[in-house]
């Protein structure tokens, strides 16, 4: 089966190449959001090739809270959560406005670098190198998990949180600059997972759970890992990537 692709280059003004593209999310059939680091979100309709920008407007309280966006997630209700350099926004698809959950453009950096939803529908927010905040979407209250002890400062030795994914056993897997972490349902603590690789703690930029296995995108290639067995299959350019 063959497939075709085309490059989305210049939509709604500036060249797309002028901004880093951090996340892509299908918000509804034929409609995609592209999160950029500097020019807000591109709301793109695939069938027409047309798009519009969703940007921060300091005069509109319900606009995007910051133009540097890094992560997006669509929850069970259809609401879209957007992680920015200054915090977390929630977009209500019925009234089409943004609600700032925490942080705003005027506050110090408290970036939301990765997002995940668990089996209970709670939103997990990876706050760069400051751990994970877990939010109940109904009450907007939550708890916090540190991946590693913070020591004398606010930053975790795990480095920046780059990706998160739940598996079928109510565990969460967290990819960071300093390797892969596992958070079990039995307690709010994180365990660093030593992978059977030459470097057991690679930079993990993407995690996708597939039944009992994990696909891991790392700086040493793509790996298919089976937790608890010590088995891992690696794919590199020689494998056809």
Q: How far is CA 198 from CA 49, 188, 204, in A?
A: 44, 29, 14
Mean pLDDT by 10 residues, the chain (241 residues): 60 58 93 93 92 93 92 94 91 90 65 91 89 89 80 63 91 94 83 94 95 94 94 80 61
CA nearest neighbour of 99 among 145, 126, 135: 135
Question: Within its chain, how far is the Cα of 188 from the centroid?
Answer: 20
Is residue 145 classed exposed, middle or buried when 0-12, 13-18 and 19+ CB atoms within 10 A define those classes? Answer: middle
Residue keyed to tokens 């698809």: 93
The mean of the pLDDT values for the chain is 86
Residue keyed to tokens 């997990």: 124
**0.75 exceeded by the pTM?**
yes
Residue keyed to tokens 């793509």: 222
Q: pLDDT tens digits for 23-64?
A: 999 999 999 999 998 999 999 998 998 999 999 999 999 999
Q: pLDDT tens digits for 146-164?
A: 887 655 455 557 788 999 9
How many Cβ atoms are within 10 Å of 53's Cβ, its own excluded? 16
């Amino acid at each position: 089966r063959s497939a075709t692709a085309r490059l989305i280059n210049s939509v709604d003004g500036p060249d797309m190449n002028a901004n880093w593209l951090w996340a892509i999310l299908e918000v509804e059939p034929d409609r995609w959001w592209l999160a950029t680091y500097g020019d807000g979100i591109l709301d793109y309709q695939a069938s027409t090739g047309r798009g519009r920008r969703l940007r921060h407007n300091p005069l509109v309280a319900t606009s995007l809270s910051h133009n540097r966006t890094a992560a997006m997630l669509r929850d069970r209700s259809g609401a879209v959560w957007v992680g920015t350099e200054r915090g977390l926004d929630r977009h209500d698809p019925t009234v089409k406005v943004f609600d700032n959950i925490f942080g705003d453009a005027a506050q110090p950096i408290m970036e939301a670098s990765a997002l995940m939803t668990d089996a209970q529908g709670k939103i997990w927010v990876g706050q760069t190198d400051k751990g994970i905040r877990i939010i109940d979407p109904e009450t907007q209250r939550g708890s916090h998990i540190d991946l590693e002890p913070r020591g004398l400062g606010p930053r975790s030795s795990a480095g920046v949180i780059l990706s998160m994914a739940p598996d079928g056993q109510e565990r969460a897997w967290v990819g960071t600059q300093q390797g892969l972490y596992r958070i079990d349902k039995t307690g709010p603590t994180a365990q660093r997972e030593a992978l059977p690789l030459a470097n057991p703690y690679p930079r993990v930029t993407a995690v996708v759970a597939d039944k009992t296995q994990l696909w891991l995108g790392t700086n040493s290639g793509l790996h298919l890992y089976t937790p608890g067995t010590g088995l891992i299959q690696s794919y590199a350019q020689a494998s056809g990537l």
